[in-house]
Amino acid sequence: MYKIVKKEILNPTVTLMQVFAPDIAKKALAGQFIILRVNENGERIPLTIADYDRDRGIITIIFQIVGKTTKLLNELNVGDSILDFVGPLGIASHIDGYKKVAVIGGGLGTAIAYPQAKALYKSGCEVHLIAGFRNSELIILEKELHEVSNKTLIMTDDGSNGNKGFVTNALGQLIEEGNEYDLVVAIGPLVMMRAVCNLTKEYNIKTIVSMNPVMIDGTGMCGGCRLTVGGETKFACVDGPDFDGHLVDFDEAIRRSAMFKREEHDSYEEFCNLLNMEVQNDG
């Protein structure tokens, strides 16, 4: 059992949790992930490690409530425990040797972009951070993002924070202004990462993306997380989760991400109905 030592609601659908997992914290590196299971009947879901504290033995995860498992997870509070918590899985991000990097986070992806930006910034690299959200209410980690970047641009789709536009608009502008990046890191929804890659291809800037497909074991056993990179099949769990974005077959990844959509939806609906019934009964 892995105890929750801190819980913070970042926005109405995104929660941060700090979990006591000292062995994992000892080894964790930016870009790696954990797999967790909330209860005995639960599924295994991968979540990227958002931060770690080796001294205190803590792993930080940030998740969006999108289905039954994340909703169940969000029901837990400080002092409660998560049943299973495995990691650190995947290959850590390679961050050495870069001078100027644009790190892009989209929505929840910002939580995953953050540790990468932090690692790059700490390594002495100049970091420009672009984070995009649907509206100003959904902005997360604003203060933290400023702390790990030389320049921070927070964009909203609807302009409700006074900065309307997509992350690609912001990146395009920065490039046109003469910023010469030797790397772009893009983490967020598949369509966003695809759009960023299409843009950086034009400018021939190396782009790394972080893939987060459905997986079960996270150790290379099931192959459920496979994707095509440069014409070859790769497993996101052991070959990634970071890949060269210019080589990833995003169209296939988008199709595969929808494989269990109906089952996930039904399971979530049923769970929400159950919760509502409980609330009514309690009332």
Partner 1 sequence: MANMSPIKVKIPEQEPTVRNKNFKEVALGYTDEMAVEEATRCLQCKNAPCVKGCPVNVQIPKFIKKITERDFDGAYEIIAETNSLPAVCGRVCPQESQCEGLCVRGIKNEPVGIGRLERFAADYKMQKNDKPIPEIKTNGIKVAVIGAGPAGLTCAGDLAKLGYSVTIFEAFHVPGGVLMYGIPEFRLPKKIVSTEIESLKKMGVEIKTNSVIGKLFSVDELFEDDFKAVFIGSGAGLPSFMKIEGENLNGVYSSNEFLTRINLMKAYQFPKFDTPVLIGKNVAVVGGGNVAMDAARCAKRLGAENVYIIYRRSEEEMPARTEEVHHAKEEEIEFKLLTNPVRILGDEKGSVTGMECIQMELGEPDASGRRRPVPKKGSEYIIDLDTVVIAIGQSPNPLIRTTTPGLETQKWGGIVADEQTGATSRPGVFAGGDAVTGAATVILAMGAGKAAAKAMDEYIKSL
CA–CA gap between residue 87 and residue 32 (Å, rounded)? 8
Choose between 155 and 227: whose C-beta lies nearer to partner 1.
227
Cβ 227 to partner 1 shortest distance, Å: 7
Choose between 54 and 164: whose C-beta lies nearer to partner 1.
54
Cβ 58 to partner 1 shortest distance, Å: 16
Choose between 105 and 245: whose C-beta lies nearer to partner 1.
245
- The CA-atom distances, in angstroms, between 239 and each of 25, 112, 165, 210, 225 are 21, 18, 33, 11, 10
Choose between 80 and 84: whose C-beta lies nearer to partner 1.
84
CA–CA gap between residue 38 and residue 69 (Å, rounded)? 7
Q: Which residues bind partner 1 (CB under 8 A)?
A: 23-24, 27, 37, 41-44, 68-69, 83-89, 216-217, 219-224, 226-228, 233, 238, 252, 255-256, 258-260, 263-264, 266-267, 270
The number of C-alpha atoms within 13 Å of 28 and in the hemisphere containing its C-beta is 32
7 forms bridges with which residues in the sheet? 17
Cβ 182 to partner 1 shortest distance, Å: 28
CA–CA gap between residue 100 and residue 121 (Å, rounded)? 10
**Which residue reads 């990097």 in tokens?**
101
Cβ 19 to partner 1 shortest distance, Å: 12
Cβ atoms of 104 and 196 closer than 8 Å = yes
Cβ 267 to partner 1 shortest distance, Å: 5
Contacts of 198 (CB under 8 A, 6+ apart): none
Cβ 166 to partner 1 shortest distance, Å: 25
CA–CA gap between residue 190 and residue 211 (Å, rounded)? 8
